[in-house]
Structure 1
Amino acid sequence: MSIFDAIGIAGTGVTVNRKWMDAVSDNIANVNTATRTSEDAFRARYVVAGEAGDGKGTAVRGIVLGGSEGRTVYEPDNPLADQDGYVKYPDIDMSTQMTSLIMAQRAYQSNLAVIDRAKDAYTAALQLGKG
Structure 2
Amino acid sequence: MTLFNAIGIAGSGVTVYRKWLDAVSDNLANINNVTSTDGEAFRAKYVIAQEAADGNGAQVGGIVEGSAEGRLVYEPTHPLADAEGYVRYPDIDLTSQMGQLIMAQRAYQANLTVVDRARESYLAALQLGRS
Same fold (TM over 0.5): yes
Q: Partner residue of 2:6?
A: 6
Deviations 1:57-84 (A, max 9, x none): 0000000011111111111111111011
TM-score normalised by the chain length of structure 1: 0.98
Q: Partner residue of 2:68?
A: 68
Say whether residues 1:118 and 2:115 are aligned partners.
no
Q: Partner residue of 2:57?
A: 57
Give percent identity, aligned residues only: 66
Say whether residues 1:35 and 2:1 are aligned partners.
no
Equivalent position SS for 1:43: coil
TM-score normalised by the chain length of structure 2: 0.98
Aligned length: 131
Q: Partner residue of 2:45?
A: 45
- In the alignment, the residues of structure 2 paired with residue 111 and residue 95 of structure 1 have an alpha-carbon distance, to the nearest angstrom, of 24
Unmatched segments (≥5 aa) in structure 2: none
- In the alignment, the residues of structure 2 paired with residue 81 and residue 26 of structure 1 have an alpha-carbon distance, to the nearest angstrom, of 25
- In the alignment, the residues of structure 1 paired with residue 37 and residue 62 of structure 2 have an alpha-carbon distance, to the nearest angstrom, of 29
Equivalent position SS for 1:54: coil
Unmatched segments (≥5 aa) in structure 1: none
One-letter amino acid matched to 1:38:
D
One-letter amino acid matched to 2:49:
A
- In the alignment, the residues of structure 1 paired with residue 29 and residue 77 of structure 2 have an alpha-carbon distance, to the nearest angstrom, of 22
Runs of 4 or more consecutive aligned structure 1 residues displaced over 2 Å after TM superposition: none
One-letter amino acid matched to 2:74:
Y
- In the alignment, the residues of structure 1 paired with residue 124 and residue 91 of structure 2 have an alpha-carbon distance, to the nearest angstrom, of 51
- In the alignment, the residues of structure 2 paired with residue 118 and residue 107 of structure 1 have an alpha-carbon distance, to the nearest angstrom, of 17
